[in-house]
Amino acid sequence: MGTKFHWHNTISVIGSGYVGVTTAAIAANTGYKVYLIDINQERIDVLKTGKSFFYEEGIDALIKNALDSKQLIPTTSYDGITKSSIVFSCVGTPDNSDGSPNLDYVFSAAKAASNKMKKDAVYVQKSTVPVGTGKIVASMLPGQVAYISNPEFLREGTAVFDTLNSDRIVIGGADKEAQNKVKSLYETIEHGSANITKLTGITAQPHANGSYFLTNLESAELIKVTANAFLALKISFANSIAKLADKTGADITEVMDAVGADARINRSFLNAGRGYGGGCFPKDVSGLISSAAEHGVDLSIMTAANEVNESMPGYIVHKAKRSLTSFEKKKIAVLGLAFKAGTSDTRRSPGIKIANLLANAGAYVVAYDPHANKEAVHELKTTISIVETIVDATKNVDAVFIATEWPEFKQQDFHELSRIMKGNLVVDAVNILNPSDILKAGLQYIGIGRG
Ligand code: UDX
C-alpha cells in the first residue's frame, strides 16, 4: 500500500498476543503504519518471518502482506511510540494465585510508553483490567496524553471476522476528542475492510461496526468483564441444567433449543459440555470475583458459575467410568486439546484436563488435536502419547473422548471408527454428535445432559 508517513496514521501496538497481533495486522492493512512492540524477541522474530506464533484463520496472510508493504514493523523497541498518534496496550494479564489479574505488564507497558508519547497522543487500553485500573494507569502518563479504555471482544478462532463485524465498539474515557480519534480509527478500518477480505476471504457486513458506545472510563472497563462473566454464567447454567437432564431423561439440546428460541434469552452460549476454558472466561470470572470482593460486593453468583465449570471435566469422566467399570489399563483416545475449535490455544483447556484425569485414573491415553499438539505437550502428563491423526489416536482404543468441536471429529466415518476401535464407547464431551449416527455404527454414546 505504501501510505505516506504522517503521524495521524502511525500507531503503536504494545503486546503481540492474540489481541495485539489481530489489531496490528488489521490496522496495517487498512492504511495505518503500525509498530508492533513486544519485549519477547522470539515472538518478534517469528512475526518478522510473516507469521504469528498462534494459529488463527487469515492472520498470517495479513501479517505477510503488511510486512511486504512495510506497513507493519514488529520490533522490541519502544521508539515507534514517539511517532504514533495512538498507542494500544494489548499486553497479557495472567492471573495471580488468588484469582486476581497480574497487572505488572499493564503498568510496565504504560511506564515504557509514557517516556516516549507525543503530546496529544492517545493511550488506549485493550487489555482486560479490573474496573478502576484505568485511573491509575492514566496517572502514570504525561498530562497531555488522553487515556481511553477500548475493551476487545474478539473470539479466538474468528478474530479477523469478529474485528470486521463487531457487535459493538466501546470507547470509554473523559476526553471527547480522544474518544472521537479512536472512533475514527475504527471507521477507517471499516472503510478499508475490502482489502482484508481480498487477503483473507473473510467478509465484513456493511456498516458492521455501526454501534459505538462512548462511555465513561469505569463503565468501559466493567462492560468487558461483565459481558464475559455473563456468557460464562450462561454456559454454567446450561451445564447445571444438563446434570438435571441426565438424571431425568430430558435432552439438554432439545431443552436449550426451545428455551433459547425466546428472544429474551437467546440460544447462544447455552451449549452444555465439558465447560469453558481459554485465556478469557476463567480469568475474567475470577478477576470479577476478586474485584467485587475488594469493594465488599457479593458476587457469589459468579463463584457458583466457576464451581460448576470446574466440575465439568470430572463429571464427564465419571460418567464414562460407569460404562467402562474402571479406566485401569484401558486405552482411551482424547480428540481435541485446544480449548475450543479454530485455535491452537491450550490455556485452561478442558480437553487437557480430561486427558490428565483419565491418565491419573490409570488409563493409557492417546491424544490428538489438528492444531494444538505442540502447545499441549507441556501441559499433558508425560505418560500421554500425542499422535498426528485421528486414526492413529483411535486405533484399538476402548473409548474415544471428543473434547473440542473441531469439524473433523464430527465428520469422521463412524462405521470406520467402530471397525478400528477395540471397544465401543464414544464420549461426546462437547455434545456435537448426533447420538443416532453413533448408535447406527454399533457404538455406544455418552454426552452431557443427553440421557
Ligand atoms: C471469549 C469471548 O467470547 C470474547 O468476546 C472475548 O473477547 C474473549 O473471551 P474466547 O475465549 O476466544 O472468547 O472463546 P469463546 O468462543 O467465547 O468460548 C469460550 C469457551 O466457552 C470455550 O472453551 C468454549 O468451548 C466454551 N463454550 C462456549 C461452551 O462450553 N458452551 C457454549 O455454549 C459456548
Give 350's DSSP letter: H
Average model confidence (pLDDT) for the chain? Answer: 95
pLDDT at 6 over 90: no
The mean-pLDDT minimum among 187-196, 368-377, 387-396 falls in: 187-196
Kindly give the distance from the C-alpha atom of residue 406 to the centroid of ligand 1, in angstroms, as a whole number. 14
CB-based contact 355:367 (threshold 8 Å)? yes
Q: Which three cell numbers stand for residue 6?
A: 504522517
CA distance 78 to 176: 27
Q: What is the pLDDT of residues 61-79, one digit of tens each?
A: 999 999 999 999 999 999 9
User: What's the length of the chain?
Assistant: 451
Average pLDDT over residues 9-32: 97
Residue 340: predicted pLDDT = 97
Q: Provide the CA 166 distance to its chain's centre, in angstroms.
A: 15
Mutational test site, ligand 1, from 234, 339, 345, max ligand atoms within 8 Å of CB: 339
Q: Is the model's pLDDT at 265 over the cut of 60?
A: yes
| pLDDT at 4 > cutoff 90 | no
pLDDT at 209 over 70: no
Q: By three-state DSSP, how is residue 94 classified?
A: coil
Ligand 1 — pocket residues by CB below 6 A? Answer: 152-156, 228, 231, 235, 269-271, 273, 275-278, 280-281, 339-340
Sign, CA torsion 335/338/344/347: negative
The owner of cell 485414573 is 361
- Start-to-end CA distance of the chain, whole Å, equals 57
CA distances 319 to 135, 151, 245, 326, 450, Å, are 48, 39, 13, 11, 12
Give the pLDDT confidence score for residue 8 in this predicted structure. Answer: 77
Report whether pLDDT(278) > 50: yes
90 catalytic? Reply is no
pLDDT of residue 413: 97
pLDDT tens per residue across span 100-148: 899 999 999 999 999 999 989 999 999 999 999 999 999 999 999 999 9
Alpha carbon of 167 to ligand 1 centroid (Å)? 15
Q: Residue 179 burial (CB < 10 Å; 0-12/13-18/19+)?
A: buried
Instruction: Tell me: pLDDT of 325 over 80.
Output: yes
Residue nearest atom 34 in ligand 1 by C-alpha distance: 269
Per-residue pLDDT of 360-382, as tens digits, reads 999 999 999 999 999 999 999 99
Predicted structure pTM score: 0.93
Contact 28, 88 (CB under 8 A): no
